[in-house]
Amino acid sequence: MNKFRTLLVSAAALLASAGLAPAQAAPAPQGIKNVVLVHGGFVDGAGWQGVYNILKKDGYNVSIVQNPTLSLADDVAVTQRAIDQADGPVILVGHSYGGVVVSEAGNNAKVKGLVYIAAFAPDKGESVNTLIANPVPGAPVPPILPPKDGFLLLDRSKFAASFAADVDPAAAAFMADSQVPWGVAALTGAVTQPAWAAKPSWYLVAKDDRMIPPQAQRGMAQRAGSKVVETAGSHAVYVSRPAVVAALIEQAARAVK
């Protein structure tokens, strides 16, 4: 038996020296441990991978919602299911149009805080359509093509410059070619009661955004009473700056009781 134990100890030491020791579980995070990530229009949840990897490494339970982006009601229902599956309180995160979704779905009692990443943060009765009705003077015009069969797409040739200017060119090209058609009906869906009116929120302003003007982001964040962080970054800041995005999410998770 002693020889067997010696062999086990020696094997473990050999694995450790070779970098093959069993991975240690990440320490449990302080505060809320469940995070639900919600993507915006024209893309799917895959863009959250960098943020996901950081949060998982830091011990968080992370769910990524795959919204069909056909209507706000459908997307809220899908997001609510992800929230309900969490084993405790949730930090709910939305990018772009995902901010509309979390503003409505965030009324779920399990949601304790909201994080907006270069996102729309509508008030009661507002939708994407109403929020973009009066654009900031001089702001870039997103290259949205005319609707076809009730769906919108961005001009592929202008996608990188408008949506993902600081993303690796090959990755930006892939994002352009793998666009998810955004249902026109989703843009008209109005929030019934914004969760940010009753719950704490955080907002990351992407200072180089050419889809939602930074000035508009700041205005929505101020109205929502969000704690604001600004960073250089395109509209796809969640792809290009995952460490910054994850840091804000973790700040929210630690702050909420």
- Per-residue pLDDT tens over the stretch 36-93: 999 999 999 999 999 999 999 999 999 999 999 999 999 999 999 999 999 999 999 9
pLDDT exceeds 60 at position 8: no
pLDDT exceeds 50 at position 178: yes
Adjacent-strand bridge partners of 206: 231
Average pLDDT over residues 12-37: 62
| Residue, of 12 and 155, whose pLDDT is higher | 155
pLDDT range class, residue 26, cuts 50, 70, 90: low
Average pLDDT over residues 21-30: 56
Average pLDDT over residues 203-230: 98
pLDDT for residue 154: 98
pLDDT exceeds 90 at position 118: yes
Mean pLDDT over the full length of the chain? 91
pLDDT range class, residue 250, cuts 50, 70, 90: very high
pLDDT for residue 28: 63
Q: Tell me the domain boundaries of the chain.
A: 26-255
- Number of helices (H), then strands (E), belonging to the chain: the values are 11, 8
Average pLDDT over residues 225-250: 98
DSSP secondary structure string for all residues of 148-216 = BTTEE-B-HHHHHHHH-TTS-HHHHHHHHHTPBPEEHHHHHPPPSS-GGGTS-EEEEEETT-SSS-HHH
DSSP secondary structure string for all residues of 95-131 = ETTHHHHHHHHTTSTTEEEEEEES-----TT--HHHH
User: Rounded distance, CA 24 to CA 12, Å?
Assistant: 14
User: Rounded distance, CA 6 to CA 199, Å?
Assistant: 56
User: Rounded distance, CA 192 to CA 187, Å?
Assistant: 14
What residues have CB less than 8 Å from 187, skipping those under 6 apart? 41, 97, 127, 128, 129, 152
| Residue, of 65 and 11, whose pLDDT is higher | 65
Closest alpha carbon to 120 in 136, 103, 133, 137: 103
Q: Are strands 201-206 and 111-117 parallel, antiparallel or unpaired?
A: parallel
pTM: 0.89
CATH class for domain 26-255? alpha beta
Tell how far CA 137 is from the center of its chain: 27
pLDDT range class, residue 257, cuts 50, 70, 90: confident
Q: Which two tokens stand for residue 94?
A: 């939305």
Contacts by 218-223, CB closer than 8 A, 24 or more apart: 220/116, 220/120, 220/121, 220/122, 220/131, 221/116, 221/121, 223/121, 223/123
pLDDT exceeds 90 at position 140: yes
